[in-house]
Chain A
Amino acid sequence: MKFPATRRMWWLIQQALREVVHLRFVWIMGFIALVMIAGVSVLREFNFGTEEGRFLRNYVEATLALWGTVIAVILNVAMVQGGVERGALVLTLVRGVQRHEWLLSRWVAVAVALAWLTLLGYVTLGVLLVRHGHVAPVSELTLAGGRMFLRLMLVASFALTACVVARGFLMATGLALGLTLAAQLSSILEWAGRHGGTNTNWGWQILSWVVPAFHVLDGSTKALDTLLYASGYAALYALLACAIFSRREI
């Protein structure tokens, strides 16, 4: 009986999600929620007047961005490199699964995990804001949550590419975090490209094209443009990872 490709992909994603849960991801989400709640309680001891809501929101979003970045990188590395080292990849390959299917299923599972994390973060934020008497506009928080998710998905795409380029856990993590930092500084790179000397000009400019700019995701561009931009780069990095992985020796 031939397993249709879509069903096989769906099955692989389900297995990868089970693995994510067994990596204690739910516990980690709970821990992050506790950190948010505890931090908000501490912040409320200070007097920020009418700006308290803004302080609380900044804190929760920064916590989510920081933890989300770390989780996106480490989870990806654990799922991909761990899967290769544990032999999970071999057992699927001998059963007719294509390499890029296995890799993409891991990426999608990480995306779902990051979506859960983002949802938890913004629901917690909304509840905390309302509980402490501040305005929590649903549409604004939804858009902010969407941008945060796109940011974390880009980090996950970096980590996916890093996993297939670098062999070791440490190298892959370092490379992924390096790409994230470059994305954070992308506007500086572009500025350096425009204002630097002739030799460095094109170098920095090219680097700013290869690495997406995170500041595009901060709400200064239109929602659709942001979505297309982030999705485009995430897809490019995922395709690059699939291309490399399909030729890599196991």
Chain B
Amino acid sequence: MRCWRVRFFPAVKFRRYTIGLGVLALLAGGAALHPMTGAAGRLMSGSERSTLLGGYGTIIADYLWLETNLAWEIRDVTKVRQLIDLTMKSDPQTAYYWLNGARILAYDFPAWRCEAASLAPLAVQANWRMTGANEALLLLERGQRWHHKSAVLHLEMANICLYGLGDRHRAAEYYRLASEQGDAPEYAVRIYTRLHDEEVAGMLLTR
């Protein structure tokens, strides 16, 4: 005769059954709560990496950007390039990394090369600047996937086309695209209009 009242029905007398029933209850509760994940639960294609890092993707990207800064200080081109790439992959949703990464590629890398080889012919140096600018534009094209509705990347691409490549037609096109976005600054439209004026376009290029 048992001297303890069994508080639960007999199936939970033993620990295994208790754990099993508990897990089933958890499963049922989880299934009931699952619809609350909503859109947050569905992954964008290609964004698995940032979700894999979960909420830590941003801080990892921040850390990688600090490392990029340190590599930039010592002008380690290979390391800077690798770290820029890793930073974008860790947190592609932050425009700051795309913009500054592109600027490093477009302006700093060519400048370092020209400084290191100051006796190189001007045509070669111009070629280096063009290569840098094109590389930056490719980077920003990749970034459009996450920022296609934002003007900032378009503006940066326009600036690189204008000052890096000297291609005012392409720059005008990017200014136009920028001006069509919701967060476009007013100068985007003005610059686009002015680029169609030959004289103003020339002044912008020679500045």
Judge A-B direct contact (beta carbons within 8 Å): yes
A residues apposed to B, CB below 8 Å: 43, 46, 48, 51, 54-55, 58-59, 61-62, 65, 165, 184-185, 187-188, 190-191, 206, 208-216, 218, 220-221, 225, 228-229, 232-233, 236-237, 239-240, 243-244, 246-248
Asked if A187 and B51 sit within 8 Å, CB to CB, the answer is yes
Majority-rule SS of B interface residues: helix
Asked if A212 and B54 sit within 8 Å, CB to CB, the answer is no
Chain B 43-55 interface 0/1 with A at a Cβ cutoff of 8 Å (1 = within): 1000010011011
Q: A168–B174 Cα gap in the complex (Å)?
A: 62
B36 interfacial contact with A, CB 8 Å? yes
Known: A210-B23, A237-B26. A62 touches B59 (CB 8 A): yes
- The 27 listed contacts between A and B (C-beta, < 8 Å) are A43-B66, A46-B66, A48-B96, A55-B62, A58-B59, A59-B62, A62-B56, A62-B59, A184-B56, A185-B54, A187-B40, A187-B43, A190-B41, A209-B34, A212-B33, A214-B54, A215-B51, A216-B38, A221-B38, A228-B33, A229-B37, A233-B33, A240-B25, A243-B21, A246-B7, A247-B13, A247-B14
B18 interfacial contact with A, CB 8 Å? yes
Asked if A215 and B55 sit within 8 Å, CB to CB, the answer is yes
Residues of A within 8 A of B38 (CB): 216, 220-221, 225
Asked if B41 and A247 sit within 8 Å, CB to CB, the answer is no
Asked if A216 and B22 sit within 8 Å, CB to CB, the answer is no
Q: List 10 A-B pairs, minimum CB-CB distance, nearest first.
A: A209-B30, A62-B59, A240-B22, A220-B40, A184-B54, A236-B29, A229-B36, A51-B96, A232-B33, A225-B36
B residues apposed to A, CB below 8 Å: 7, 12-15, 18-19, 21-23, 25-27, 29-34, 36-41, 43, 48, 51-52, 54-56, 58-59, 62, 66, 69, 94, 96
Q: A190–B33 Cα gap in the complex (Å)?
A: 14
Asked if B52 and A236 sit within 8 Å, CB to CB, the answer is no
Q: A58–B94 Cα gap in the complex (Å)?
A: 12
- Count of A-B residue pairs with CB < 8 Å: 112
Residues of A within 8 A of B23 (CB): 210, 240
Asked if A216 and B41 sit within 8 Å, CB to CB, the answer is yes
Set B15, B40, B58: member contacting A216, Cβ < 8 A: B40
Residues of A within 8 A of B40 (CB): 187, 213, 215-216, 218, 220-221
Residues of B within 8 A of A206 (CB): 27
> Residue of A at shortest CB range from B15?
A247
Residues of A within 8 A of B36 (CB): 216, 221, 225, 228-229
Known: A209-B31, A210-B30. A247 touches B12 (CB 8 A): yes
Q: Chain A nearest CB: distance from B114 CB in Å?
A: 23
Q: Chain B nearest CB: distance from A212 CB in Å?
A: 7
Set B26, B51, B58: member contacting A210, Cβ < 8 A: B26
